[in-house]
Amino acid sequence: MRSRRGLGILAVCGLVLGMMAISASGAQAGKWMVAGKNVAGELKVGAKVELEGGSATLLTTSGGNNVAISCTSAVVTSATITVSTITGSIDFSGCTTKINGSFEPLCNPLNQPIATGGTVAAVLHEGKAYAEAKGTAGVFATFKFKCAALPTTVKVTGTGWLEDCNNEFETEKVTHLVQEAKVPAGKLGGLFFGTNAAEIDGSANVSFNDAEHSGLKFSGLAE
């Protein structure tokens, strides 16, 4: 029997995404399901991430400046699902940078596409299901810059929290709309851009797109 809300999130392994499954909150890792069944062994899938509104933005600060890095494309390069984790990587491109609200082309990330990666687990926090992500070896992504306002190299670390925008974690669906979950991020710790707190503004539709799994419904169970 499935209790509370399940979790249907395959993404943002990046921005989303990393990881060693369980947080200091004491949450327990749940299970991932595809086509109504618990995943057995390793299931390699292709996935599509469509950014709502055409972009997603990393909001943070650096050296006293407000920083906004927006990317217009997210391409999943690998995704493997086991019963308890989703491990994958996403390349982000079309990224531009605003410093204190103004576009600064010289501060656009140099290393595009920006590779992100990690592992995602379904966890239960304060009675609600979320996806908890941590970057590969603790790092989601590494940004490189060549402008006075930003360091030359900045790592994105911490914990990425995701939620189903429609509160349909338990519902098996072909496409799930996901966004950063601000509640657990605020209480348990979220993302960091270097040593500065960061958050993701934006949402994404996630679905399978490989020949074998395209059109299949997926979800998860947080325990």
According to the model, what pLDDT value does residue 186 have?
A: 95
193-205 residue pLDDT tens? 999 999 999 999 9
Contact 34, 216 (CB under 8 A): yes
Residue 1 has pLDDT above 80, yes or no: no
Model confidence at 222, in pLDDT bands (50, 70, 90)?
confident
Q: What is the mean pLDDT of residues 67-79?
A: 97
* Beta strand spans in 30-85 (E): 31-34, 37-38, 43-44, 47-51, 56-62, 65-71, 73-81
According to the model, what pLDDT value does residue 223 have?
A: 75
Q: In the block, which residue shows the tokens 């399901």? A: 33
Structure tokens at 202: 């934006």
Contact 189, 159 (CB under 8 A): yes
According to the model, what pLDDT value does residue 171 have?
A: 87
According to the model, what pLDDT value does residue 29 have?
A: 59
Residue-by-residue DSSP string for 14-27 = STT----S--TT-P
According to the model, what pLDDT value does residue 170 have?
A: 79
Residue 24 has pLDDT above 80, yes or no: no
Q: What is the mean pLDDT of the chain?
A: 88
Q: How many CB atoms lie within 10 A of CB 37?
A: 7
Q: Cα angle at 137 between 136 and 143, to 5 degrees? A: 65
Instruction: Report pTM.
Output: 0.86
Residue-by-residue DSSP string for 121-136 = EEEEETTEEEEEEEEE
Q: What is the mean pLDDT of residues 211-222?
A: 93
Quick one: which of 146, 136, 144, 137 has its CA closest to 112? 144
User: Which amino acid would we find at residue 184?
Assistant: P
According to the model, what pLDDT value does residue 23 have?
A: 31
Residue 105 has pLDDT above 90, yes or no: yes
Helices (H), the chain: 182-188
**How many residues are given for the chain?**
223
203-214 residue pLDDT tens? 999 999 999 999
